[in-house]
Amino acid sequence: MIWLVSDRAAFDFLEARTGALEIGVEQHAGVTVQGVYALEKTAQGALRWTAGDARFELANAPGTPATSLLLALWPMPLSADARLRLTINGWTAFDGPVPSEPLTAPLGRFASQEWLTIELKTAPSTHYAGDPRDLGVALRLLRLEKSTQ
């Protein structure tokens, strides 16, 4: 097969050439993303809003699988009772008030699975005056990591 895309980040991660792959505030060939808005550049760093329902799907290499998922959010004013549910292949990794500290989810249970589906569901959604978007959470990072051992 001839591959014409110059972005090989997801493929290098799958082949264990790199130990981490940012999928939240970076878009890579090989990662399917739904329910996220365009990347926003701020003086503090990249930000990407999700919609109320967001989904990230990518291959997982059974020989060198992802070992953890790290999620960090920007501290944005959201609906007072906003809750976040983070699922990985249907397994609930987090379900509670939108966290202010980074979360790490171990992925060992998915080591033999060929695909990872990461879903972020935020309810209720947030709406800002003058902004027609249905906002979930503001991603600072959503990163897959591999054990370096």
> Structural domain boundaries of the chain?
18-145
State mean pLDDT over 112-131.
Answer: 95
Candidates 1.10.3470, 3.30.470, 2.60.120, 2.130.10; correct CATH number of 18-145?
2.60.120
Choose the weakest-confidence range: 8-17, 36-45, 55-64, 108-117: 8-17
How many C-beta atoms lie closer than 10 Å to residue 145's C-beta?
17
Would the pLDDT of 11 be above 90?
no
pLDDT at 1: 47
pLDDT at 2: 47
Q: Hey, is 31 helix, strand or coil? A: strand
Answer for the pair 30, 36: CB distance below 8 angstroms, yes or no: no
d(CA 89, CA 40): 28
pTM over 0.75? The answer is: yes
d(CA 71, CA 63): 24
pLDDT at 145: 93
State mean pLDDT over 6-11.
Answer: 65
